[in-house]
Structure formats: structure tokens, C-alpha cells
Chain A
């Protein structure tokens, strides 16, 4: 990875974080904390061009499929999609307004979103079907899935985890945004997921772990997962901080449902400082 690319990705991640907070200022019902833990993941996938995509044709047959199984946390993808030309940039200023395209939870009416999610725990199973179809079609495209760690509480996810390794879906890459907090509490106090790596390994998945806010680690891990061989599905456990970049969210177990007030939004943007 070149220094130039690292610099670009860092700059982009900073910008995405800032834009995400701005959107939250416009639409306070958006889930800000969840949308801040996956900023570096989205940045690496799109600006690092790990994903194959075409803003002009969001249904391009050769694209990599990206299923966002925790779409409440994808407000941070709005600025990226707008910047890349999937959407009109003006949409960012009217998120959640009457008649606007972008709501609190993205859906398939928005170019760039493959599936309806929202209710958690469905994305990986749907991705299994897509991965199977792509293999059958002898396509080189991969299927990426972003899920939350709290989402792993849903039983249907484990049906899919078992299915994916049994059917050797090595074109499937799951990214767990391991921000360690669900809605009401720290996951460790609810259902402790540790040891998460071992759980996946036991189910025959190829596992990698990265600091989810170190853009170089995220980029390198995703690139390697995409390119490396092997018979089995792959997972990146990205260790992240829910609410990353906004101190009053970072240390709050209830940050999932915290909405910032107008003054807090202005301060949060100011506190981001420079890249």
C-alpha cells in the first residue's frame, strides 16, 4: 500500500466522518454511533477500490455485491455514494425530509444498496444465496457483507454461517463491525461473544482480525481476504469503537439511541480537528 493511498484514505475517512455527523444534524433520528464505527470499513472498500462498482450502473453484472446487514449504521455510506456519483449530492442536505430519497435506514430505492435489511440477521443468508448464484454463473464477483457484532445474537446468522462453510462459499467475505455494544448494553453483559475468532474458526471460516479504525490495517486485511485463495468463506473481525470520533458517544453504553443536539453537532465537527 503506497503512502499516497494511505494519505488519501485517511483524508477520506475524516471527511466521511464529518459528513456523517452533519447528516445526523439534519436528521437526528439517524443512528450516529453505529454509523461512525464502520467509517474506515466503508472508506477502504470504496475509496480503496476493494469493491468493484460502477456508479453509473449500480446493477452492473460484474460488480462485487455488498450487502449491508446493519443498514442503520450506513448513514456514513451516504456521503461516499454521493461523492462517487451514485446519488445527487443535494440529497445529503435533505436526509429524512418529507419526500426525500435518503431515510434513516437505507433501502433498495437508493442506488448502491443491494438488499432490504433493517430487520437484523438476514443479510448473511441472502449473501449465501448470491454467492451460490455467482459460483453457478462462474462469475468472478465477490459478495461482501457488513454485519454488526450485536447482530450475531440473531439465530438465523448462524444458520447462514454453517451453510456458507458447508457449501464452501469462498467468494463470500463477511465483515463484522465489532463495536461491542448493541442497543441496551455492552455485548459482553448481554451475551458474551468472546472468543469470536474461535467461533468462526470452529465453523471452518478463514478469520482475520484488524483494528477497524486503522485504515491501513482495514485496507490490507480486506485486500488480502479478497485475493487469497482457500476453500472456505472469510471473515474480517474489525475491532471498532461505537461512536468513534465523538467523545460523548464513545464511552456511552446507550450511545446507539443517542441523538446529538444542534450545539453538540457543531462541537463534534469542531472536535474532529484536522486529518
Chain B
């Protein structure tokens, strides 16, 4: 999804001279063309995420739309204070259009281990006032976001998967996009609510267990909670699944808050990573199996939970 996104940004940069693209020494095939053709507006700041955000802020304060590109856990957590002070606090008074692109959501960098896993970013980025948090599940959504990223002058966090993902959204339009979520499958009693990579897992589960719904939440902030509740309230059981620590401010907290605020009696189960980093070595599917996030485990848990 990042390459499609970068290709679209490239097209925008051809027409719009007020765009900068900064990277903290991270590349991608699509970026090679961009950095070659826009030598004066592409800057590799080096392995320096703090300076990445600071320089991006300075450019944005002078009116530029800026992309700040790096590895998801580092660009968010290494530079969190720069993000808080120069983007979140600052933009309440003077809007700054900085689009942080974090590549490697969840366990994208599976074999690289816990330093490269990113299970905290949804919670910590959603926490910041004046921020938009976007977590696309396919490249079509990512591509659609490019216009927003230029036109909406506020700081944003774009949470991208590190691996190519299959297409989900055959057709996308403003009506779908502006809602911030989409009911991909309508079900009867049970609904899976997910974001990013885990939406693909949810769709596979739904294929096995006929009759369950799938809601993909791609805009985690801001989110029209009333609209989402309208979609949720048809169900008796909601299961949130995410590649993140659960019960700590992630997607699960967002859904629980909506249900609580509407005094709903809907039952909720949260699936994700418990309060432990993942040291086991293996690919994403293997690590998901160890943490009951694989298809079979999810199916089993849903069956047991909704039996009565």
C-alpha cells in the first residue's frame, strides 16, 4: 500500500510545488523515483526520527504539506515528544500539515523481533489531541487518502502495513471514506470489528463462519461514533481484533467506549496481544497462532463464546 500511496504523492508533487517528502533513511521501490525526480523536495534526514519531525514541523509552519516517512515504532515512539509538542500542541493554535507515515504496523516486521513490532501506535497516537489517525486495510484506501493528506491541514498519522495486502475495497467513494469505517459484510448476531491487516483475517474467519459481520475501521480518529454505533447495534456479539496491546487504548477501547456511552447491552470480546512483548521467532502467522489470533483460534473462540 505504501508504494501506491507514494506513486500518488509523486503525481501530486509534479503539480504542486508546496509538498515536501522527508524520510528517516527508509526507502521503498516507489520512493526511488520520487527522490530522484524531486531532489530539492525529497530529504533523507538520516537515522534521526526526532529531527525528522522537527524539520517537518518547520517546513509545515512555512506552509508546506509534508510527509514524514519512517519505520512505524521508531517514527512514533522515538519522536513522541517532538510529535506531542511540535504537532499536537502546536497545531491547536497554528495548523501544521505533517503526515507521518509509519511503515510496519503490528507484526509486519515479524522476524525482526519486539524492537520492530509495533503494538502501541494506535493507542499512543489516538491519544493526542488535534491528530488524525488513519489505518488503511488496503492500498485503495491508502491511495484515496492522498488528497485528504494534502488538503486537510492538521497533523496525521498514517499507519501502513509493511507487507503487500490484497485488495478489499473494489470501489471507494467519498461517502464510504468520510464515514471512517465500512461494514464489509453484514451479519446477523456476531460482528468482527478490525483495522489494518487484521481486517483480512476477519474476512477469512467470516468466510468460514457464515453469517457473521465484518466492520473495517480505517479512520481511528476522528470517528463519527454515533454512526458507528448505528452499525454495531444490530449485533448481539462484537469481537474486536487488532494487532496491538488490548485493554490499553487501542481499537478495543474505542469500541467499548462507544457501546458504554450508548448504554448498550451488546457483549464485547477483545482480541489482540496481552500485556507482553513477543520474543518468539517466526513469521506473522506463526506469531498470531501463539497469541490466538490465527483463523482457527478466532473461529474456536467465537464458537465457544456465542454457543449459548
CA distance A209 to B59 in the complex (A): 29
Number of interface residues, chain A, beta carbon within 8 A: 30
Are B89 and A156 within 8 A (Cβ)? no
Are B85 and A117 within 8 A (Cβ)? yes
A142-164 CB contacts (< 8 Å) to partner B: 155-156, 159-160, 162-163
Is A91 interfacial (CB-CB < 8 Å)?
no
Residue numbers in A under 8 Å from B86 (CB-CB): 115-116, 122, 126
Quote the shortest CB–CB distance from B113 to chain A (angstroms).
24
Are A128 and B90 within 8 A (Cβ)? no
Of the candidates A119, A131, A133, A155, which one forms a contact with B64 in the assembled complex, judged by CB atoms under 8 Å apart?
Answer: A133
Query: Apart from A116-B89, A129-B60, A159-B54, what are 18 other A-B pairs with CB-CB below 8 Å?
Result: A107-B93, A115-B57, A115-B61, A116-B86, A116-B90, A119-B81, A124-B54, A125-B53, A125-B55, A126-B55, A128-B51, A129-B55, A129-B59, A133-B58, A133-B62, A159-B46, A160-B55, A163-B45
Are A136 and B51 within 8 A (Cβ)? no
**Closest partner residue, chain B, to A141 (CB atom):** B62
Quote the shortest CB–CB distance from B281 to chain A (angstroms).
31
Are B62 and A130 within 8 A (Cβ)? yes
Are A109 and B93 within 8 A (Cβ)? yes
Main SS at interface, chain A = helix
CB 8 Å contact bits of B69-85 with A (1 = contact, 0 = none):
00000000000011011
Are B93 and A127 within 8 A (Cβ)? no
CA distance A116 to B88 in the complex (A): 10
Residue numbers in B under 8 Å from A115 (CB-CB): 57, 61, 86, 90
Are B55 and A132 within 8 A (Cβ)? yes
Are A133 and B59 within 8 A (Cβ)? yes
**Closest partner residue, chain A, to B22 (CB atom):** A129
**Closest partner residue, chain B, to A137 (CB atom):** B62
Are A130 and B48 within 8 A (Cβ)? no
CA distance A227 to B86 in the complex (A): 30
B interface residue numbers (CB < 8 A to A): 40-41, 43, 45-46, 48, 50-51, 53-64, 81-82, 84-86, 89-90, 93-94
Residue numbers in A under 8 Å from B82 (CB-CB): 122, 125, 156
Of the candidates B41, B50, B61, B84, which one forms a contact with A130 in the assembled complex, judged by CB atoms under 8 Å apart?
Answer: B61
Q: Given the known inter-chain contacts A108-B93, A133-B64, please indicate yes or no for A127 contacting B51, CB distance below 8 A.
A: no
Residue numbers in B under 8 Å from A127 (CB-CB): 58
Are B62 and A129 within 8 A (Cβ)? yes
Q: Given the known inter-chain contacts A108-B93, A119-B81, A163-B45, please indicate yes or no for A156 contacting B54, CB distance below 8 A.
A: yes
Is A114 interfacial (CB-CB < 8 Å)?
yes
Residue numbers in B under 8 Å from A167 (CB-CB): 43
Are A159 and B62 within 8 A (Cβ)? no
Quote the shortest CB–CB distance from A91 to chain B (angstroms).
17
Are B56 and A129 within 8 A (Cβ)? yes
CA distance A127 to B59 in the complex (A): 9
Residue numbers in A under 8 Å from B59 (CB-CB): 129-130, 132-133
Of the candidates A107, A116, A126, A156, which one forms a contact with B58 in the assembled complex, judged by CB atoms under 8 Å apart?
Answer: A126
Residue numbers in B under 8 Å from A129 (CB-CB): 54-62
Are B50 and A125 within 8 A (Cβ)? yes
Is A134 interfacial (CB-CB < 8 Å)?
yes
Residue numbers in A under 8 Å from B61 (CB-CB): 114-115, 126, 129-130, 133
Are B85 and A128 within 8 A (Cβ)? no
Are A125 and B51 within 8 A (Cβ)? yes
Residue numbers in B under 8 Å from A103 (CB-CB): none
* 10 tightest Cβ-Cβ pairs between the two chains A and B: A129-B58, A125-B54, A133-B62, A159-B51, A130-B58, A129-B55, A156-B50, A159-B48, A129-B59, A108-B93
10 of the cross-chain contacts (CB-CB < 8 Å) are: A115-B86, A116-B89, A119-B81, A126-B54, A127-B58, A128-B54, A129-B59, A133-B61, A160-B55, A163-B55
Are A116 and B51 within 8 A (Cβ)? no
Residue numbers in A under 8 Å from B94 (CB-CB): 108
Which interface residue of A118, A122, A125 has the most chain B CB atoms within 10 A? A125
Residue numbers in A under 8 Å from B51 (CB-CB): 125, 128, 156, 159-160, 163
Q: Given the known inter-chain contacts A108-B94, A129-B55, A160-B51, please indicate yes or no for A119 contacting B85, CB distance below 8 A.
A: yes
